Structure 1
Amino acid sequence: MDRAGLGIMLRVLSGMLFTGMLVCVKLLSDTVPLGQIVFFRSLFALIPIVVFLAWRKEFPAGLATRRPLGHVLRSGLGAAAMFASFAAVARLPVAETTLLAQLSPVIMALGGVVLLGERLSLHRVAALGLALTGVLVLVLPGLGDGTGQASGYVLGVVSAVLTAGALLTVRRISRTETAGAIAFYFVLTSALAGLATLPLGWPSVTTEQLLLLVLAGLFGGAAHIAMTLALRFAEASRLAPFEYIALIWPVLVDLLLFGLPLSTGFVLALPLIVAGAVLAALEGRRFRRPTRQ
């Protein structure tokens, strides 16, 4: 298997692992507070990340940083995105939460224009148009249903915006910072943010709940590693079309595990949002200008 094929396999694996994490979070969301979930998810995600860094001989030397404030901004945005994403999956099907996360590449492409002086091309405008149309198709039928679905959509979009901001920050600091350091400080910050909610009250967890919390962290950390390796072995433009495959697992989970049928809005929004995300990724690869310091 060539490097590109290995990268594609790792991208598909990362999608499966990410879905596994969201399943654990959704199963916990009715009984375990959000901050407690974020803490344990982040704490146990440190295990595969530290093992991976040690395997690459980057721990602890690879954690040295020349951009501490950059890490603070990236980690803060990422931690806030995690809170919003987990709150969204508590209110929405896993597939819809995952679909809304596909807005991040589009928002990131536009952020590159506004914040980094990149080119505003027809491709980026088309990507935005497709993504926004998809969001409207997905969201409008669920507005005003009184089930919390509307707030879930808002949280999903907020998470995508925060994730895009975090990724734009990564683009700036990755010139001097290693991927391992960026991942480590993000997970550490998220754990501390979750721990800060302890005074609000954390209930004791059962053995089953603890297992789900551990699995959420291990799945999340492993998903990050798989995505990091995928981007090492294959260009982002080669991986972008496989966003469709990454959405198969959440759909199957909703149908087979949670017994949730696919909504008409999801079916119609799926090609629009993913096409916008793929177009943004492909365009960004071809036309991205050097960023300004």
Structure 2
Amino acid sequence: MAAMILGGSDDTLRGIGLRVLSGVFFVGMVSSVKLASPSVPLGQIVFFRSAFALLPLVVFLLWRQEFPAGLRTERPFGHLARSMLGGIAMFTSFAAITRLSVAEAVLLSYLTPIILSLLAVRLLGERLTPARAAGLVLGISGVAIFVAPDLLAEIGRDAAALDLRRLSGIGLSLLTALLTAGALVQIRKLAATESAGAIAFWFAVATSLGGLATWPLGWVWPTPEAAVFLVLAGLTGGFGHIAMTLSFKYAEASAMAPFEYLTLVWTILLDWLVFRSPPGASFLLAVPFLLGASAITFAAGARLQFRRKRR
């Protein structure tokens, strides 16, 4: 009955359910990172997030009979480039989470598909369509609205009102979106010859090593509470990736796209109920611009893929 109401098959509903579940896991990961960050260094958080994500990932690969045979690769430098971009993005995104509310950091992450579409024009030879250009304009407008209070404070020389920590968080989020888009371009190239499991596994290994490399900079012995959050960050991140991977097995990306924005709803509720941080006016004003930009860009990409399939 639910399939008839939503106009899809049972497989499509299963895919949508898995995509929504992956969003819930993602919110769990982000909240665990934020709760651990006051007492645990950034590099140590990255290590635990990546190392403990390997546990569910290896079990998943064993279930799919892709471990260890499916991890062989003929493109180690491609994995290295993807891991460097994604690894730096993980550091900058976690740093942004400590400076912004969870919902603000997630909202700015919706710039990634817009930047990805522009990189695809430059690096993959795709065409800059009017829809992609419109998405870019909306995205830039949304960011401008988002930072408007701090920019107006600077123009008015109101130093007391200028929130440098928030501005640095916005800057880190924008950098994260750029790096993530670059990593996704590299994943597109790798996907032609590499399995999704191999790409995820080697990324987790590389970011674990990257986090471990920060040990000499000063790690701490976490409190029991912080240790729980560190482990949860890894497990929820790993399970979230698995749920997202499985969702594409059952449903097309276009069917799941509207439900991806539920993640923003979960983060707003999380900020409100857990961190006692209700959304501000600039956030609420920026939401339709950034979500609209992301939706337009996604729709343009979906139409392009549909035309390619018909040829």
CA distance in 2, matches of 1:271, 1:159: 21
Letter in 2 for 1:280: T
Q: 2:17 aligns with which of 9, 17, 21?
A: 9
Aligned residue-pair number: 290
Q: Summarize the alignment of residues 221-236 of structure 1 with structure 2, pairs less than 5 Å apart.
A: 221-236=238-253
Q: Confirm whether residue 118 of structure 1 aligns to residue 135 of structure 2.
A: no
Deviation at 1:211, TM superposition (A): 0.8
Deviation at 1:56, TM superposition (A): 0.4
CA distance in 2, matches of 1:201, 1:100: 30
1:198 corresponds to which residue? 215
CA distance in 2, matches of 1:142, 1:210: 35
Q: Output one character per residue of 1:4-28: Cα deviation in whole Å (capped at 9) or x when no partner.
A: 1111111111111111111111111
Q: Output one character per residue of 1:14-56: Cα deviation in whole Å (capped at 9) or x when no partner.
A: 1111111111111111110000000011000001111110110
1:237 corresponds to which residue? 254
Larger CA deviation: 90-99 vs 276-285: 276-285
Percent identity reads: 53
Q: Output one character per residue of 1:188-243: Cα deviation in whole Å (capped at 9) or x when no partner.
A: 11111100100101011111111110000000111111111112221122222223
Q: Output one character per residue of 1:240-273: Cα deviation in whole Å (capped at 9) or x when no partner.
A: 2223212111000000000001111111111211
Q: Confirm whether residue 208 of structure 1 aligns to residue 216 of structure 2.
A: no
Structure 1 unaligned runs (5+)?
Answer: none
CA distance in 2, matches of 1:279, 1:243: 14
Q: Confirm whether residue 99 of structure 1 aligns to residue 107 of structure 2.
A: yes
What secondary structure sits across from 1:194 in the alignment? Answer: helix
Q: 1:31 aligns with which of 39, 55, 58?
A: 39
Alignment TM-score, normalising by the size of structure 1:
0.96
1:275 corresponds to which residue? 292
Contact 1:236/1:281 (<8 A) preserved: no
What secondary structure sits across from 1:62 in the alignment? Answer: helix
Larger CA deviation: 187-196 vs 238-247: 238-247
1:75 corresponds to which residue? 83
1:131 corresponds to which residue? 139
Letter in 2 for 1:59: F
Deviation at 1:147, TM superposition (A): 4.7
Contact 1:240/1:282 (<8 A) preserved: no
2:116 corresponds to which residue? 108
CA distance in 2, matches of 1:161, 1:237: 23
Deviation at 1:100, TM superposition (A): 0.8
2:273 corresponds to which residue? 256
CA distance in 1, matches of 2:43, 2:74: 30
Larger CA deviation: 102-111 vs 85-94: 102-111
Larger CA deviation: 197-206 vs 224-233: 224-233
Letter in 1 for 2:99: R
CA distance in 1, matches of 2:260, 2:147: 21
CA distance in 1, matches of 2:137, 2:149: 19
CA distance in 1, matches of 2:16, 2:296: 18
Larger CA deviation: 230-239 vs 206-215: 230-239
Q: 1:162 aligns with which of 164, 179, 184?
A: 179
Deviation at 1:139, TM superposition (A): 1.8
**What root-mean-square deviation, in Å, do the aligned CA atoms of Structure 1 and Structure 2 show?**
1.3
Moved over 6 A (4+): none
Letter in 2 for 1:4: T
Contact 1:123/1:283 (<8 A) preserved: yes
CA distance in 2, matches of 1:132, 1:239: 25
Structure 2 unaligned runs (5+)?
Answer: 4-9, 155-161
What secondary structure sits across from 1:175 in the alignment? Answer: coil
CA distance in 2, matches of 1:44, 1:261: 31
What secondary structure sits across from 1:148 in the alignment? Answer: helix
Alignment TM-score, normalising by the size of structure 2:
0.90
What secondary structure sits across from 1:65 in the alignment? Answer: coil
Letter in 1 for 2:252: E
Q: Confirm whether residue 63 of structure 1 aligns to residue 71 of structure 2.
A: yes
Letter in 1 for 2:192: R
What secondary structure sits across from 1:119 in the alignment? Answer: coil
2:56 corresponds to which residue? 48
